[in-house]
Amino acid sequence: MNILDKIIAQKRIEVEERKSKTSVAELQQRPLYARPVLSLKQFLLDDSKTGIIAEFKRQSPSKGVINGEADVVDVTTAYTNNGASCLSVLTDEEFFGGSTDDLLKARVNEIPVLRKDFIVDEYQITEAKAMGADVILLIAACLTPAEVKRLATFAKSLGLEVLLELHAEEELEHICEETEIVGINNRNLKTFEVDIERSLRMAKQIPSDKIKVAESGISSVENILLFKANGFRGFLIGENFMKEENPGQAFEQFTQQLKKQKHEY
């Protein structure tokens, strides 16, 4: 059983436990459930913004603890103030050290927030709306094309947007009408190696009406300019900032460099 299989098996157990504790009706009564949703699509198409989906991530199965000390409000506020187009917040506890509380705290910022988790059930999408998320992640590697369509349709019915994450060319068939934003993960889920060239090849096969997002392994402004030149509008970056002692400051320096390079470019 690979790490993704382990995460999904654990996630199914967690979802059933959470359902038994909190009903859908209770989730729908939470204050943030009724808040107007911010559109990631609009933010990514806005040329005045960086296109960066800045991630708050404490740890990962492959790297262990990345930053156990960072304060979610401090970091996400710095991301927002320095031009992030979206915040991505990990809510998986067991494998990534995240929590619902992290997302609730990040919600003080007035930009789209992505609930980064392993979604296998409609209940988690209702939870995402109740915790103030605007966007959910659907990972093709752990869902069938039919499941992606069903879950994306449900998310849209709640007013949420969907980021569909692909890792391999055979997952292109998961793209459907309801998945308007498509992410390509540069990291191979089996080997954890980063291959930007593979992502660029895959991007050519994504329908032109979809918004493309590059994910993982982005460590330089040059990477972003290369992806932009190949039609990408969004760039999900987490570890590059979170591994620093002050992730917010690292993000600020990166975006200043991006503005400078963009101007020269």
What residues contact residue 68 under an 8 Å CB cut-off, 6+ apart? 58, 59, 97
Given the residues 14, 55, 161, 239, the one annotated as active site: 55
Residue 115 has phi, psi (to 5 degrees) of -80, 110
Residue 69 has a CB neighbour count (10 Å cut-off) of 7
Given the residues 199, 216, 223, 240, the one annotated as active site: 216
d(CA 204, CA 200): 7
Given the residues 11, 57, 129, 212, the one annotated as active site: 57
Does the annotation mark 262 as catalytic? no
Contact in structure between 149 and 176 (CB atoms under 8 Å): yes
Given the residues 14, 127, 161, 165, the one annotated as active site: 165
CA atoms within 13 A of residue 215's CA, in its CB half-sphere: 24
Given the residues 180, 215, 223, 239, the one annotated as active site: 215
Does the annotation mark 116 as catalytic? yes
d(CA 172, CA 247): 33
Does the annotation mark 57 as catalytic? yes
Does the annotation mark 173 as catalytic? no
Given the residues 14, 82, 88, 116, the one annotated as active site: 116
Given the residues 60, 67, 85, 185, the one annotated as active site: 185
Does the annotation mark 216 as catalytic? yes
Tell me if residue 90 falls in helix, strand or coil: strand
d(CA 219, CA 125): 31
Contact in structure between 174 and 125 (CB atoms under 8 Å): no
Amino acid occupying residue 33: Y
Does the annotation mark 41 as catalytic? no
Residues noted as catalytic: 55, 57, 116, 165, 185, 215-216
